Amino acid sequence: MESNNQYKKYRDISVYTSTPGERVILLYDETLMQINRAILHIRKNEIGAAHNNIIKAEKIILYMIDILDLRYPISQDLLKFYKYIYLQLVDANVAKDENILQKILVYVKELKDIWQQVEKEVRQKNEGQRNLI
C-alpha cells in the first residue's frame, strides 16, 4: 500500500512539473495502454474488462478534444482526427473488435511520435536560446 502512495506522489509531481507537450504525450501513453489492455481482454473473452478499458480511452480522447485551442489551424485538423478516433473506439467497443483497436493503436502511436519530436525540438530550441544569454 505504501508503494502505491509513493507512486501516486511521484506521478502527481511528474504531471505538475511537466511541460504541456509532455502532458499530451502522457495522455497518448495512457490511451495506448488502455487500448492494449482492451485487446488483451478481448482475446481472453473478458468483455466487461475490455469495455472498461475502451471507455477509459474514449474519455481521454474526449478530454483531448476539450483542451484543444481552436485558434490554431492545426487544431481543426486534430479535432477531426480525434473525433474519428473517438468514433472508432465507440465502434470497437460495441463490436469488441480487436482489428479496429489495432488500427487505432497505429494512429495514436503516430500522434505520440509526432508530439515527442515536437517536444524534443522545442526543448532544443529553448536550450539554444538559454545558451545565448
Alpha-carbon distance of 86 to 59, in angstroms, equals: 9
Whether the Cβ atoms of residue 15 and residue 48 lie closer than 8 Å to each other: no
Alpha-carbon distance of 82 to 80, in angstroms, equals: 6
Alpha-carbon distance of 33 to 43, in angstroms, equals: 16
* Residue ranges per structural domain of the chain: 24-132
62-102 pLDDT, tens digit per residue, is: 999 999 999 999 999 999 999 999 999 999 999 999 999 99
Domain 24-132 homologous superfamily, CATH:
Flagellar protein FliS (1.20.120.340)
Alpha-carbon distance of 48 to 54, in angstroms, equals: 10
Out of 7-16, 20-29, 62-71, least confident range:
7-16
